[in-house]
Amino acid sequence: MQIKGAWSPKEVEDYLAVTVLPARISVISPNNWPIIVSLWFFYENGALHCATKNTSRVAQCLSRSNRCAFEIARDNAPYFGVRGQGKATLISENGDYILSRLADRYLGKVDSEFRSWLMSNTEKETAIRIDPTSFYSWDYRKRMKA
C-alpha cells in the first residue's frame, strides 16, 4: 500500500481510528460518471468498514466496479485529513452487525428513536469493506493558525 503526505502510517491509522466523521466515498455510476456518497465508517484491521442497503445506488455501483476513492476530513479550517483509493467488497452476511457497530460509534450506545428506526429493518443491510491501496494525508493546522 502506498502512503504519502504529511503523516506517518501510524498517524494515518490513529486518525482513522478516532475520527468520527462520515467518509465521503466516490464510486463510478453505471453511466461512467463518478458519484460521491457520505457513509459512516470505522477503521479496523487495515480496512474501512461501512454499511448500506443492498438496493442502494452505492451498492449497485460497487457491484459493477469495486474501485472507489474516499476522503475523511473536516469541512472547516484548519484543514487536515486522509484521502485514498481502494477496492471494495460487499458482504451481505454481516450488514446488520456492521450497522450496529456504526450506530454505537456515531450515536453512542444510548437507545433513541433514530437508532431504533435505523436498526428496525436490517435484513437488506450489506457491509462494505474497503481495502485501501493508497492513502494521502494533509495537515494545514500549523499553516492556518490565526
On whether residue 146 sits in a domain, the answer given is: no
On whether residue 145 sits in a domain, the answer given is: no
61, three cell numbers: 455501483
* Residue 97 CB contacts under 8 Å (≥ 6 apart), including other chains: 127
Tens-digit pLDDT profile for residues 19-63:
999 999 999 999 999 999 999 999 999 999 999 999 999 999 999
Q: What CATH code is carried by the domain that includes residue 65?
A: 2.30.110.10
Place of cell 463510478: 28
On whether residue 10 sits in a domain, the answer given is: yes
Number of domains in the chain: 1
Tens-digit pLDDT profile for residues 69-119:
999 999 999 999 999 999 999 999 989 999 999 999 999 887 888 888 888
On whether residue 64 sits in a domain, the answer given is: yes
Question: Residue 39 belongs to what domain range?
Answer: 2-139
On whether residue 90 sits in a domain, the answer given is: yes
Please give the backbone phi and psi of residue 33, each rounded to the nearest 5 degrees, phi first.
Answer: -105, 140
